[in-house]
Structure 1
Amino acid sequence: MTFFEQFTPIQQALIGTLFTYSVTALGAALVFFFKSINKTVLNGMLGFAAGVMIAASFWSLLAPGIAMAEELGQVAWLTASIGFLLGGGFLYAVDKILPHLHLGLDTSQAEGVKTTWQRSVLLVLAITLHNIPEGLAVGVAFGAAASGSITGATIAGAIALAIGIGLQNFPEGAAVSIPLRREGFSRTKAFLYGQASGIVEPIAGVLGAMAVIYVRPILPYALAFAAGAMIYVVIEELIPEAQREEGGSKTDVATIGAMIGFSVMMILDVALG
């Protein structure tokens, strides 16, 4: 029996997402050592995060979801498409409602409903927004592994997903706290804001695991839903931010980062899953 197998699937999801949250906090802790972050380095970080999420969406979510849909006698392509589009639609709706501000933009360019919230809060909410599907993905992965009957859905695969999400959370934590420090926040306050962006992951992870365990027929949809939400974040937020304002070799770093991130996640999932 492995360490994870002694826990229930919901406990496994909580442990996995607490790990991803803790890595976010570690990344945010870089603010105690640096006051600014080079744009080229940030581009590479965002590209890496995008690559990890793209690979995880297929290897850890869509492929097992399609396999389970087939085993349940569902029309696999239809189940995957519906779940995938619902995931993207959910993030689209939240994106239009939740006030948030992307890095590098003026407060007047904040998205969502109009609010008088401080710029710092809006910046944190932007990262929090795409931590929701990350936590959900880890929770659903552990829930899928608990079913014990899905090709490719294993505890090892869920652990690989948690590790991959954790790896890309490290630069995300830094990408929140360090810009806040540059804007005049104290190191402690910038760190607290940065790590706070990851708190939503354990919540989403536990809810995702509970949903698929207690309502097993929705599992293929849930896996595709998480994948759609993650891809939405990559296309709507990570890639544009990595390419904003800079050109030439500086944006090439983001592309290289994405390739490396995809490869790392693919290796983790194939080797461990």
Structure 2
Amino acid sequence: MIDFFRELNPVMQAFIGTLFTWGMTAAGAALVFFVKGTNQKFLDSMLAFAGGVMIAASYWSLLAPGIEMAEEQGVPAYIPAVVGFLLGGALLLVVDKLIPRLENKQYMYGIGSSDARKRTTLLVFSVTLHNIPEGLAIGVAFGALANGFTESALAGAVALAIGIGIQNFPEGLAVSMPLHRDGMSKKKSFFYGQFSGMVEPISAVIGALAVIFIQPILPYALSFAAGAMIFVVAKEIIPGSQEKGNVELASISLMIGFAVMMTLDVALG
């Protein structure tokens, strides 16, 4: 099996690698099926946990690698970090303003309140956006093998895919549980949770095919996704998790989510 994978085209290797990351996202999202009842404290804690996961991922999975890539390219590291981060927040601000118009067209998810629908849209959009540069990063790692194959380079690309896949498990949960909290059915919550990871195989193939062109803009893309995630956490996730009065529980849950994602990101490098 290992020899078969080694002999594949780098584009196919990237696609297979991100099928794993997508599967891990779906596995995390599937935990929503094992939740019984609608205990408000538990659901609020899960929403806050999602916020903690997103904050940690925004730095260790996105900003830090983007800064490192910029330094390797000889670019002042703060430029792509600041520009991308602020543009990501600006995009989500625009999306936030557009959501009421989209709601009027009744395309939304069948969730009760307007606040819940807005939070749902921003959450799914931001986590999906976050997964695009991760897929690109995997694609770039495998695509680079075409320019100089080494066993260590292949091992590094595989390790990257495995690491991102493991990190995606709590991210899938971080999407599906808040959606269920806001009134969405378990099937729909799972669908949108796993959908957030579906973009990774697509972006990985693009990254592998266009590795030469993607690398210079990847630091901006990573920072862009980080800005989008922080905007959602600050505007929707934290206030939403505390709106029912479970402030201390939500605060603790956010810190636990942050610690879990930080541990995964740091341990998996």
TM range (shorter): 0.7 to 0.9
Deviation at 1:79, TM superposition (A): 1.3
Structure 1: distance between partners of 2:181 and 2:4: 35
Deviation at 1:4, TM superposition (A): 8.7
Counterpart pick for 1:130 among 126, 129, 146: 126
TM-score by length of 1: 0.75
Deviation at 1:192, TM superposition (A): 2.6
Deviation at 1:69, TM superposition (A): 0.6
Q: 1:195 to 1:4 in 2, by over 3 A?
A: farther
Which runs of 5 or more structure 1 residues have no equivalent in the other structure?
100-110, 182-189
- Structure 1 residue 257 and structure 2 residue 253: aligned? yes
Counterpart pick for 1:13 among 18, 22, 31: 18
Residue deviations 1:4-54 (CA, integer Å, cap 9, x gap): 977622432233123213421x133236xx342x22212221121111111
Structure 2: distance between partners of 1:240 and 1:96: 18
Please provide the CA RMSD for this pair: 3.2
Deviation at 1:85, TM superposition (A): 1.5
Structure 1: distance between partners of 2:23 and 2:199: 11
Deviation at 1:259, TM superposition (A): 1.2
Residue deviations 1:203-222 (CA, integer Å, cap 9, x gap): 43234434544122111111
Aligned residues of 1:48 and 1:259 also touching (Cα < 8 A): yes
Residue deviations 1:226-266 (CA, integer Å, cap 9, x gap): 211221221122111111131xxx21111111111111112
- Structure 1 residue 233 and structure 2 residue 232: aligned? yes
Name the counterpart of 1:196. Answer: 191
The amino acid across from 2:242 in the alignment is Q
Instruction: Number of aligned residue pairs: give it.
Output: 244
The amino acid across from 2:93 in the alignment is Y
Name the counterpart of 1:175. Answer: 178
3-state SS of the aligned residue for 1:75? coil
Structure 2: distance between partners of 1:44 and 1:69: 36
Aligned residues of 2:122 and 2:232 also touching (Cα < 8 A): no
Q: 1:230 to 1:143 in 2, by over 3 A?
A: farther
Which runs of 5 or more structure 2 residues have no equivalent in the other structure?
112-116, 146-151
User: Greater helix percent: which structure?
Assistant: 2
Deviation at 1:58, TM superposition (A): 1.1
Q: 1:77 to 1:15 in 2, by over 3 A?
A: same
Structure 2: distance between partners of 1:10 and 1:200: 16
Aligned residues of 2:124 and 2:175 also touching (Cα < 8 A): no
Deviation at 1:92, TM superposition (A): 2.3
